[in-house]
Amino acid sequence: MYRRTMITAAAAIAAVPTLLTSTAFAQTGPAMGEAEKKHAEATKKVGSLSLATSRLAVEKASDPMVKAFAKWEVAEQETIAGILKSMEMGGKAEGALKPPSSQEIEAMLDPEGKASLDKLKTASGAEFDKAYVTAQLDGHKKLLAIQEDYLKVGQDREHLSVTKLARGQIKEHIDHLDMLKSKLG
């Protein structure tokens, strides 16, 4: 009995990486449903802007807490980008993180995102910090809305599960960004 429980537990633990790398946002088998495609594309678009502005903030932020948030956001968004890329049709799951290039990120940005990034590039000091935090707060609110919208219509169990996890993380970030915004004035 104990052996069977251990084997079952080991199988469940082994299934977690497979869940996260092969079925959450795109499936390697049958094509994703329209709701899943729409959700994945919207998440990638807004996440790419978050990554681009955070990479910039790692270099330009003057406030140590803003710089720390930017570093965390870069790490998270690079991981998410890697997961989404591996989940695309026929994508290969890998353990090594391969962050997207600046060109790949900028290709995902819409005209509004490009304008926002260009505006941040011209800012500096406290002005940059405030603009970055405001842009991140706006982006995270958009990401939250994307997750909430998908949760209303989604059909894929694994996709729904990962989206619920993402929603919690996004809510935490919104709280953190609200605190940063208050601190910056």
* 91 band by pLDDT with thresholds 50, 70 and 90: low
pLDDT in tens, 21-72: 333 333 444 457 889 889 888 988 999 999 999 999 999 999 999 999 999 9
For the residues 79-93, what does the mean pLDDT come to?
67
Instruction: Answer yes or no: is pLDDT of 89 > 80.
Output: no
pLDDT tens profile 129-156: 999 999 999 999 999 999 999 999 999 8
Higher pLDDT residue, 8 or 118? 118
Superfamily of domain 16-184 in CATH is Ferritin, core subunit, four-helix bundle (1.20.1260.10)
**The predicted structure's pLDDT at residue 82:** 77
Burial class (CB in 10 A: 0-12, 13-18, 19+), 138: middle
Tell me the H-state helices in the chain. 2-18, 34-60, 64-87, 102-108, 111-122, 125-153, 157-184
Q: What is the pTM of this model?
A: 0.78
Domain range summary for the chain, segments of one domain joined by +:
16-184
pLDDT at residue 174 greater than cutoff 50: yes
Sign of CA dihedral 50, 53, 54, 55: positive
Alpha-carbon distance values, 23 to 46, 81, 95, 111 (Å): 21, 15, 16, 30
